[in-house]
Structure 1
């Protein structure tokens, strides 16, 4: 399936090709050698070798631990082969259009169907990993995605942020200088800075989002310089939101509406922070309980993505966690889970039915909210339906 010819490319490193900051996963066995934005078929990447997109925003590293990892803006991991238990593995770009990881004669992973003449494999400026045939036609892609950029990083021309692996919700720093949000292919917001090719955007540590021209002159800003260092997020609710240092929204491409309580009821049987007495772990209640009968519909709180679905947990029984930007909502003690991990939901999506599972003293839904990973009182975040 693979050519026995192996090529190693000489290091070609430019200032734009290296991003500051440490790696977010196990580092290569030696310093990464940036070989190219694309490599021809027959090429082998050895441990420590890397490829980078032409705008320097995405790097694909063949790590010494055997993991093939793509890093995005700010060195966050956006994709990985999850093969870290094979130290010394290499990546082969096959002449048959197949990409493989191997260690000696052992096949570890492969991508592509084969049976064609492969031309090259590359990292695109939007983070997509692509294999092409001899006619320069795309054979297959790995569409990785990055949904957030933390303060102190820039968004270079050609970079595309996505809420998920699909293409329906995107935020793009275009080559013409325009920063544009697309929803289902239609532009829904723009900085109106086209006509300045080479412009780039900065998520600044002062809390400001700024589009700069090639001459470093500010062309547009969110005017939030007092918000402090936070992050920019492309959310599943079709909104792009800038969060400040306190994890609160300071700017967004569309008006922000409140998040909703998961059940159509205002009955509360246990409040956040209640002392449940000695012997309880944790002793103080970490959520708020909705006193509803078994089988009551449980809904998403807004537009978000399901990050966890767990059955038969000793404490929570059946539970679901949904991510809404910086906020996560956990609903527990469910009788039925009706969504899957990775599913995009809306406020009208029924995600479960209430129950009495796990360490529950009666039918109810336990609701926990976290903002930036910190527990918060659900009643200060969620609004009754």
Structure 2
């Protein structure tokens, strides 16, 4: 029989649901599920459907019925998963010796953290990070999961922190005093100047407006972009806070936005976006724009961004790199050499590759392909020649 921790745990009736995650189908949760606030005390267990939420209610870790332990962020964004979606009925245990473990029929099949100390338990923090602490409050193990983008229709409550990466060098915090503040290396670099309003929160509205509301629901600051339609708010790796509208266009930013650059120092175009390449080509219509440059020409990032994909020897694209800049991705293909790795943060003028003639290429060039919110667009409408 499960023990009930009255001060941390509530039991609610839930509707059985099926959620697709990493190619697996989540088994429906039981009719009764327990929710712990902030802390899963040492010695306690999460059964299928049980969860631990952060103190501000923005992040939650769920023991799913398929055996996957998953952290969800603002707008149900998946921030972390144990990738154990083949263990239906598994249980998570915050052990008193310090380990966080997953068990199946009493047998441990996954574990995290050091042991050998008296644990206070497993907690989910206001910034989304997960940790175990000892009885003195010292952190013994942590997963620095983070969220840097939030969709329209969500809110940032007091104490919520967004981050660009696992570090704390660039954060956006909805403070308890009502001020929405960006910090860079510990220094405040931008704010809404709405302090002295305890209990205030920030809404990323479906109409495209970003609004700070006082506790009595009175708006005290906004971007005045209510006609932009629901998009998303991003804390970008370039250190800018940017609001995007429904069409994926930037409608507001805390700092001026730099123009994204063409990846090579050349204006010679050998193939344009939308060109009909004739029957037999798949896809028939050209999805990008080609820059005709000699093999070995430096290929640069289009701005500060994150490398989200690197592929070698693709049958069509050859060697290629994808870099994400906010809601825009830039793919450069047919490369002779890739000089970055997936997950790497790149600067505005950083060399990421050398041009080549790999894959289905009829001559030396760089194929440039851009997507905004996942939709193909003409690169020459997004990128500016160097």
TM-score range, shorter chain: over 0.9
Unaligned runs of 5+ in 1: none
Query: CA deviation digits over 1:227-276, x for unaligned, max 9?
Result: 11111111111111101111101100100111001111111111101111
Q: Distance in 2 between matches of 1:23 and 1:280?
A: 37
* Aligned partners of 1:8 and 1:43 also within 8 Å: no
Stretches of 4+ moved more than 2 A in 1? 5-15, 21-33, 104-108
* Aligned partners of 1:23 and 1:75 also within 8 Å: no
Q: Distance in 2 between matches of 1:214 and 1:6?
A: 38
* Aligned partners of 1:323 and 1:329 also within 8 Å: yes
Question: How far is 1:14 from its partner?
Answer: 9.7
* Aligned partners of 1:299 and 1:348 also within 8 Å: yes
Q: Which residue of 2 aligns with 1:340?
A: 341
Q: Does structure 1 residue 171 correspond to structure 2 residue 169?
A: no
Question: How far is 1:24 from its partner?
Answer: 6.9
Mapping 1:95-110, distance limit 5 Å: 95-110=96-111
Q: Distance in 2 between matches of 1:52 and 1:145?
A: 15
* Aligned partners of 1:237 and 1:303 also within 8 Å: yes
* Aligned partners of 1:173 and 1:201 also within 8 Å: yes
Q: Does structure 1 residue 266 correspond to structure 2 residue 261?
A: no
Q: Which residue of 2 aligns with 1:329?
A: 330
Question: How far is 1:138 from its partner?
Answer: 1.1
* Aligned partners of 1:318 and 1:332 also within 8 Å: yes
* Aligned partners of 2:307 and 2:340 also within 8 Å: yes
Mapping 1:120-135, distance limit 5 Å: 120-135=121-136
Q: Distance in 1 between matches of 2:106 and 2:139?
A: 28
Query: CA deviation digits over 1:290-335, x for unaligned, max 9?
Result: 1111111111100110110111111111111011001000001111
State the secondary structure of the residue aligned to 2:75: helix
Mapping 1:1-385, distance limit 5 Å: 7=3, 9=5, 12-13=9-10, 25=21, 26=26, 28-31=28-31, 32-385=33-386
* Aligned partners of 1:24 and 1:77 also within 8 Å: no
State the secondary structure of the residue aligned to 2:380: helix
Query: How many correspondences in the alignment?
Result: 377
The two structures have a TM-score, normalised by structure 2, of 0.93
Query: CA deviation digits over 1:186-242, x for unaligned, max 9?
Result: 211100011111110001111110001111111111111111111111111111110
C-alpha change, 1:146 and 1:23, in structure 2 (3 Å) is: farther
Question: How far is 1:370 from its partner?
Answer: 0.2
C-alpha change, 1:189 and 1:54, in structure 2 (3 Å) is: same
Q: Distance in 1 between matches of 2:241 and 2:28?
A: 34
Question: How far is 1:12 from its partner?
Answer: 4.0
* Aligned partners of 1:29 and 1:65 also within 8 Å: no
Q: Distance in 2 between matches of 1:209 and 1:246?
A: 16
